């Protein structure tokens, strides 16, 4: 019994594993104009099958082992279908034909359909399974079909020399050449050893920026299109290859590696590539599966000059070609025994040069046009099949890329966008090969404008105002409107204002004023709201100190921030009724601090963020515009006072003339939260998604007054949005404490499965940048920076840290921007998507490390105090570990 070649073996295993599918179908579609002789065509294909054993080989199994069984010509049950089809139905007919699933154990791996559209126009589809042929088989296939058809039309048999060898001979010869895998001196063993070393610890994925998350199990749904590199660029690529002693293909590959690095794929770039595998002249005329894949791994780190990168690619390619015989499929088995069902093993993006001579189909009496037809599948994330064209004088005439891509991951426009950047990059490196890959401009001018300007077009003229000033404006307009509700009790704007004025006057007497800090150590209450307003009216800034915090933490904050006064319940018990209830009229500048809020930070010591009044009015504007809040609204005071979200709630209520609902005691979660929302007729609530998720199911339909839910503080699951967005506005808001609460706010969300963090809010700009502070293209992950009215002054008493995080904005002269530490990307609609924390993404994947070495590896990672290694892949004999750097052990536990 004849075994399978290694290449066949892998396809056969996939066939067994995944069941018969169209993934490995190779459709060839020819439009035939003229009077086609169907009988001659059918006979001709029969002749070709007689000539090539590979086309009449089936793969039955005996004792679980497949073997090649070459059927006699007479035994072959060749499926030929000839029928009339209306032009309009042709695409559907072709697609259905291309999706035919071969049963390789009993069915020959080729089929044909002849669709007659008019008496003098037909479309022939020859469908071959990849197990019987490859891209380089198309030339002999074309040649032999032409020869046989020509003969059959003339009513004779084709005149051809018998093939010197058949695929079966190659199979046996391949085994002989490579030797026994168990023999350490065999070619096989030597090549395997080379690749095992070369491909150790590959990054798990290197791919284009995806439009959609990768499903756990790939369906290989795909599509294809053709993409052109023009003759001029082609010519210059040839020239660069000549000057650098490389090949056009190496230049194209180096360009792709550089591009993927720039698009966020890391600096260890594995690309798939193919070799014809026809290492002997005798194989050139065979139809069969010879092509072999290999991995070209390129180190793109340290932003090398393109010429240096090209040297690396050249060295790696030459070595790879020397070790091209070992079958890719065997390497996969050895290197990647626990295969992921989510993606192609070892590489996800492949570039293959189709340098086979392109054979023309010239059938006598017919005009033949090849049509590109996708089988609707894609084996890799992206496959670029490249063909160099030359004109009659052999001058470069352009490079054609046939692009096959996974439709599970990408929209066509995104793949085209990446290719356009590839061309842009190639154009720059041919013009100046010494350019560093980090220095190449990937953005077109219009794109740059869109990212930096159009999507940041948030300027609105709003006069600066303090929170107290916003309240006072409302008092002038409607003093009797309800400002505060607690239980059955309600206070009007006028009453709240009067109470705050009296307290403010007392505070002024105690030395409170601009640039002075007052600690407010009170639980969520009416008193707390009045105290905050009073501090602001006195011109001071407030420091919320949660009385529920551990004593140590409170002591630290007070010692660190050194407030002039601590307002707690005891101090507030004081009688201030003797003070006038009119506004003290303290002059406050927009740059004076409004509050200081401590963030725990991801690591280390808490730090006080000093936020001025500058962004308050813009925040109120953004809330009115994005959330539909106004007089008559009822805003829940949910957030703990020690978070800036509580300030957001105050601005939302008092900036719009709404009532602030201050709940009475108790943990505001689950049923209690639901009941408060219902009983108090709350219209606007801001909640972390996890809290909203804890509200009992069904509540979303029983809260008719609830108009708007703002999600904030953490990533929101789409299901939650889907549940709550029916009949009401759900908005995702994003912001660090370092920018007056909010940086961006989404459009009203729907249940379409995506929850962006939205557009920068009024007078705020957002930038998604790479390490060199250059904007990354839309769709590409970078670090999020923010600038604008809301930017904090900095960290109290920490000038160094402030300078580190609040940096000069390269796009706005004289303006600072804040480095959020969050990873994000722009979506095509100009909304931002949150991707994760940058410090949690510190990847140590791909290193061969022992648990004890992790500490050492992480030295130098900014701000990381604790590292936890989690065994991700327990590869026997490989000890591959992935270390996830997490800010604290709690988060580490969550990772597990």
- Sites of contact with ligand AMP (CB under 6 A): 599, 712-715, 732-734, 736-737, 757, 820, 822, 834, 837
Cα–Cα distance, 636 to 650 (Å, whole number): 9
In the complex with ligand AMP, which residue's Cβ is closer, 37 or 640? 640
> Are 335 and 369 within 8 A, CB to CB?
no
DSSP letter string, 596-650: EEEE--SSSS-EEEEEESTTHHHHHHHHHHHH---TT-EEE--S-TTSHHHHHHH
> Are 458 and 788 within 8 A, CB to CB?
yes
Cβ 472 to ligand AMP shortest distance, Å: 28
The full 3-state SS of 359-424, as one line of letters, equals CCCCCCCEEEEEECCCCCECCCCEEEEEEEEECCCCCEEEEEEEEEEECCCCCHHHHHHHHHHHHH
Cα–Cα distance, 602 to 583 (Å, whole number): 41
Cα–Cα distance, 220 to 217 (Å, whole number): 9
Please, which residues bridge with residue 243 across strands? none
Cα–Cα distance, 32 to 693 (Å, whole number): 61
Cβ 213 to ligand AMP shortest distance, Å: 16
In the complex with ligand AMP, which residue's Cβ is closer, 660 or 721? 721
Position of minimal CB gap to ligand AMP? 737
Cβ 834 to ligand AMP shortest distance, Å: 4
Cβ 764 to ligand AMP shortest distance, Å: 14
* 67 token code pair: 């073997």
Place of tokens 């018998």: 162
Cβ 700 to ligand AMP shortest distance, Å: 19
In the complex with ligand AMP, which residue's Cβ is closer, 45 or 616? 616
Cβ 822 to ligand AMP shortest distance, Å: 5
874 φ, ψ (degrees, to nearest 5): -95, 80
In the complex with ligand AMP, which residue's Cβ is closer, 175 or 837? 837
Cα–Cα distance, 126 to 128 (Å, whole number): 6
Cβ 757 to ligand AMP shortest distance, Å: 5
In the complex with ligand AMP, which residue's Cβ is closer, 467 or 712? 712
Cβ 841 to ligand AMP shortest distance, Å: 12
Cβ 650 to ligand AMP shortest distance, Å: 16
In the complex with ligand AMP, which residue's Cβ is closer, 97 or 597? 597
Cα–Cα distance, 407 to 412 (Å, whole number): 8
Cβ 714 to ligand AMP shortest distance, Å: 5
In the complex with ligand AMP, which residue's Cβ is closer, 212 or 837? 837
Cβ 231 to ligand AMP shortest distance, Å: 48
In the complex with ligand AMP, which residue's Cβ is closer, 237 or 716? 716
DSSP letter string, 52-68: -GGGGEE--EETTEE-B
List the one residue out of 142, 121, 81 whose CA is nearest residue 367: 121
In the complex with ligand AMP, which residue's Cβ is closer, 109 or 736? 736
In the complex with ligand AMP, which residue's Cβ is closer, 590 or 713? 713
List the one residue out of 30, 11, 31 whose CA is nearest residue 22: 11
Question: Checking phi first, is residue 225 left (phi over 0); if not, alpha (psi -120 to 50) or beta?
Answer: beta
In the complex with ligand AMP, which residue's Cβ is closer, 376 or 782? 782
Hey, CA dihedral for 482, 486, 487, 489, is it positive or negative?
Answer: negative
Cβ 826 to ligand AMP shortest distance, Å: 15
* 669 token code pair: 């979660």
CA dihedral 384, 385, 388, 389 (to 10 degrees): -110
In the complex with ligand AMP, which residue's Cβ is closer, 410 or 785? 785
In the complex with ligand AMP, which residue's Cβ is closer, 105 or 640? 640
In the complex with ligand AMP, which residue's Cβ is closer, 283 or 639? 639
Cβ 642 to ligand AMP shortest distance, Å: 10
Cβ 599 to ligand AMP shortest distance, Å: 5
Which helix (DSSP H) or strand (DSSP E) does residue 271 occupy?
strand 268-275
> Are 518 and 500 within 8 A, CB to CB?
no
267 burial (CB, 10 Å; 0-12 / 13-18 / 19+) is middle
* 563 token code pair: 């407030």
């Amino acid at each position: 019994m004849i075994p399978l070649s290694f290449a066949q073996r892998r396809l056969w295993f996939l066939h067994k594993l995944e069941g018969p599918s169209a993934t490995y179908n190779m459709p060839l579609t020819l439009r035939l104009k003229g009077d086609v002789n169907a009988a001659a065509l059918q006979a001709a294909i029969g002749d070709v099958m007689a000539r090539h054993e590979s086309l009449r080989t089936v793969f039955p199994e005996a004792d679980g082992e497949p073997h090649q069984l070459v059927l006699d010509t007479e035994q072959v049950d060749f499926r030929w279908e000839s029928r009339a089809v209306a032009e309009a139905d042709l695409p559907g007919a072709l697609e259905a034909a291309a999706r035919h699933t071969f049963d390789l154990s009993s069915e020959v791996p080729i089929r044909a359909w002849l669709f007659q559209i008019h008496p003098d126009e037909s479309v022939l589809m020859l469908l071959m399974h990849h197990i019987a042929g490859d891209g380089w088989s198309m030339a002999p296939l074309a040649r032999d079909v032409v020869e046989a058809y020509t003969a059959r039309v003339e009513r004779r048999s084709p005149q051809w020399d018998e093939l010197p060898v058949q695929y079966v001979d190659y199979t046996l010869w391949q085994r002989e050449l490579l030797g026994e895998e168990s023999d350490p001196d065999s070619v096989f063993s030597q090549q395997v050893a080379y690749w095992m070393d070369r491909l150790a610890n590959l990054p798990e994925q290197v791919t284009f920026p995806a439009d959609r998350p990768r499903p756990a199990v790939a369906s290989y749904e795909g599509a294809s299109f053709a993409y052109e590199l023009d003759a001029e660029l082609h010519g210059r690529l040839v020239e660069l290859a000549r000057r650098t002693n490389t090949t056009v293909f190496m230049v194209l590959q180096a360009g792709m590696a550089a591009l993927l690095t720039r698009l966020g794929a890391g600096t260890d770039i594995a690309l798939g590539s193919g070799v014809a595998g026809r290492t002997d002249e005798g194989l050139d005329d065979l139809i069969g599966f010879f092509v072999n894949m290999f991995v070209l791994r390129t180190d793109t780190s340290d932003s090398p000059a393109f010429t240096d990168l090209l040297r690396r690619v050249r060295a790696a390619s030459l070595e790879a070609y020397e070790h091209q015989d070992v079958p890719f499929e065997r390497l996969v088995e050895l290197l990647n025994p626990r295969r992921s069902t989510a993606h192609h093993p070892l590489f996800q993006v492949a570039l293959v040069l189709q340098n086979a001579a392109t054979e023309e189909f010239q059938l006598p009496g017919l005009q033949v046009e090849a049509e590109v037809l996708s089988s609707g599948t894609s084996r890799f994330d992206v496959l670029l099949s490249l063909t160099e064209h030359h004109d009659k004088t052999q001058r470069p005439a352009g490079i054609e890329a046939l692009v096959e891509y996974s439709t599970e991951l990408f929209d066509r426009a995104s793949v085209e966008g990446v290719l356009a950047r590839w061309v842009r990059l190639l154009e720059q490196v041919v013009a100046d090969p010494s350019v560093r890959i980090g220095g190449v401009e990937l953005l077109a001018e219009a794109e740059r404008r869109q990212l930096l300007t159009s999507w940041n077009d948030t300027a609105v003229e709003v006069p600066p105002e303090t929170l107290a000033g916003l309240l006072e404006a409302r008092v002038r307009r409607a003093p009797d409107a309800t400002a505060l509700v607690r239980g059955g009790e309600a206070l009007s704007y006028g009453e709240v204002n009067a109470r705050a004025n009296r307290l403010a006057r007392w505070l002024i007497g105690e030395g409170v004023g601009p640039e002075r800090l007052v600690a407010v150590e009170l639980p969520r209450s009416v008193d707390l709201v009045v105290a905050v307003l009073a501090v602001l009216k006195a011109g001071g800034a407030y420091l919320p100190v949660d009385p529920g915090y551990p004593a140590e933490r409170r002591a630290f904050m007070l010692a660190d921030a050194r407030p002039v006064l601590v307002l707690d319940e005891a101090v507030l018990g004081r009688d201030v009724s003797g003070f006038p209830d009119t506004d003290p009229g303290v002059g406050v500048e927009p740059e004076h601090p409004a509050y200081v809020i401590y963030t725990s930070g991801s690591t280390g010591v808490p730090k006080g963020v000093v936020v001025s009044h500058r962004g308050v009015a813009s925040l109120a504007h953004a809330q009115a515009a994005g959330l539909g809040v106004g007089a008559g609204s009822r805003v829940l005071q949910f957030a703990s006072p020690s978070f800036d979200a509580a300030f957001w709630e105050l601005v939302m209520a008092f900036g719009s003339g709404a009532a602030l609902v201050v709940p009475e005691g108790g943990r505001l979660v689950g049923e209690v939260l639901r009941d408060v929302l219902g009983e108090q007729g709350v219209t606007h609530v801001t909640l972390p998604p996890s809290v909203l998720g804890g509200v009992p199911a069904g509540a979303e339909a029983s809260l008719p007054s609830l108009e708007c839910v703002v999600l904030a503080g953490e990533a929101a699951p789409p299901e939650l949005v889907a549940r709550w967005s029916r009949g009401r506005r759900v908005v995702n808001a994003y912001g660090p404490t370092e920018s007056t609460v909010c940086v961006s706010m989404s459009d009203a969300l729907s249940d379409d499965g995506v929850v962006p963090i939205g557009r920068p809010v009024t007078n705020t700009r957002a930038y998604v940048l790479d390490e060199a502070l250059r904007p990354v293209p839309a769709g590409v992950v970078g670090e999020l920076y923010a600038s604008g009215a809301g930017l904090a002054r900095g960290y109290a008493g920490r000038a160094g840290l402030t300078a580190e995080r609040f940096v000069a904005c390269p796009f706005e002269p004289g303006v600072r921007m804040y480095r959020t530490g969050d990873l994000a990307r722009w979506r095509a609609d100009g909304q931002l998507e949150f991707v994760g924390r940058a410090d949690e993404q510190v990847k140590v994947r791909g290193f061969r490390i022992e648990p004890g070495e992790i500490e050492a590896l992480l030295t130098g990672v900014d701000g990381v105090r604790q590292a936890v290694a989690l065994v991700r892949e327990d590869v026997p004999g490989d000890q591959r570990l992935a270390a996830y750097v997490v800010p604290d052990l709690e988060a580490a536990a969550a990772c597990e």
